[in-house]
Copies of this chain bind each other. A is one copy, B any other.
Amino acid sequence: MSAVTTAGGAGILTEAMTSFVQKLDAACEAKRSLLCVGLDPDPQLMPVPDIFDFNRSIIDATHDLVCAFKPNLAFFEAQGLEGLQALKQTIEYIRDISPYVIIIGDAKRGDMGRVSAAYATAMFDHWGLDAVTVHSYMGRESVEPFLGYGGKGAFVLCRTSNLGGGEFQDIQDEAGVPLYQRVALAVNGWGADGNIGLVVGATQPEEMKAVRGSCPQMPILIPGVGSQGGDIHAAVVNGTDALGRRAIINASRSIIYASRGPDYAEAARREATRLRDAINDVLEAEGLGWR
C-alpha cells in the first residue's frame, strides 16, 4: 500500500491505495451489516434545531450497526453556509468515531468532464467523502472524473426508487432494452479497480434482478426500504451478489425520524437494529450469513 496521486487534482496525495470496493467489503464484514443510514437533516422534521447536534446523536446511536452513512447534500445546502459547515463537521465526526464505515455523499452530480472534475475535487478532496452518487445523462465523460481517485467510488443512478422514476428510465430502445438497463450495461464497462457502482431502488425488485444479472459484481446502493416501502427480502435476494454482499441498503427518514421526541436517538437505534437484523435474517436464510 502506497500513497498515490489522484487524477483529478494537482498532485494531491490520497490515502493508501485500497480500492473503494475493498473498503466497502471491509466495512460490511467488520460491522456484519449491509445497512446504510441516510442523513437527511430537515429542520421541519428534526427534534433538535442544530443539524450537527442532530447528526451526531444519530451517528452515536447507529454507527456500530451500519456499513455506511449517506448524507444527502441537498439538506445541508438548503441551510446555506451554516449547513455546509455542518456537513464538514458531520463527515469529520463519522471519520473520528468509526474507521470502518463508508461515507457516501448523495449529491447526484454530473456535468461535462472538466466540470465533473471540479465536483470530484469538492466531494473527495474538500468534503472528504468516500463515494458520491452521480447522474450519467451526459455520458461516460461526465462520470470518469469521479473514478480517478484511489479508494474513492461513484454510484451512477440507474433505476431510482421515486414514484415517477420510470418516466425516462423505463423508455425502451429499438431492441426493447430499457434505458436503466442501457446505463447498467454501459457503467459495467467504465469502472476499473472496483470504483464504480449503481443506484437501484428497493421499490423496483424486478428491475433490480435484471440489473444484478447484468452486473454480477458491482456494488449496488439500494434506497427505498424505509419510508418508501420497498421490500427488504426482495432487496436482499435480488440486490446482493452471489455471496450475499455488494449491496448497501439505505433507509433515511424511517430511522432518523423514527421518533420526533427527545428519545429520537434511541428510536433510531431500535429501527436501525430492526432493519439490520431483518437484512441479516434474509442472508442467513439464503445460507449467506456472516461468518
Contact = CB atoms under 8 A, between A and B. Distances in A.
Interface of A: 10, 40, 42, 44, 72, 74-75, 77-81, 84-85, 88, 106, 108-113, 115-116, 118-119, 121-122, 126-127, 135-142, 157, 160-169, 171-174, 176, 179, 182-183, 186
8 A-B pairs closest in CB distance: A139-B167, A139-B164, A112-B162, A77-B122, A74-B118, A141-B164, A78-B118, A78-B121
Contacts of A118: 42, 72, 74-75, 77-78
A87 to B, nearest CB: 10
Nearest to A113: B162
B142 A162 contact: yes
A111 B112 contact: no
A74 B111 contact: yes
Contacts of A74: 109, 111, 115-116, 118-119, 122
B171 A179 contact: yes
Given A42-B118, A135-B137, A139-B169, 20 more contacts: A77-B118, A77-B122, A78-B118, A78-B119, A80-B88, A80-B122, A80-B127, A106-B111, A112-B160, A112-B161, A112-B162, A112-B165, A139-B165, A141-B163, A167-B186, A168-B182, A168-B186, A171-B179, A172-B173, A172-B174
Interface centre among A112, A142, A171, A179 (most CB of B within 10 A): A112
Contacts of A10: 44
11 contacts: A74-B111, A77-B118, A78-B126, A110-B135, A112-B160, A138-B157, A138-B162, A138-B165, A140-B167, A171-B179, A173-B173
Contacts of A108: 109-111, 135
Given A108-B110, A174-B172, A72 B115 contact: yes
Contact of A137 (B75, B116, B121, B160): B160
Given A74-B116, A138-B157, A80 B126 contact: yes
A51 to B, nearest CB: 12
Contacts of A167: 139-140, 186
A173 B81 CA distance: 43
Contacts of A160: 112, 137-138
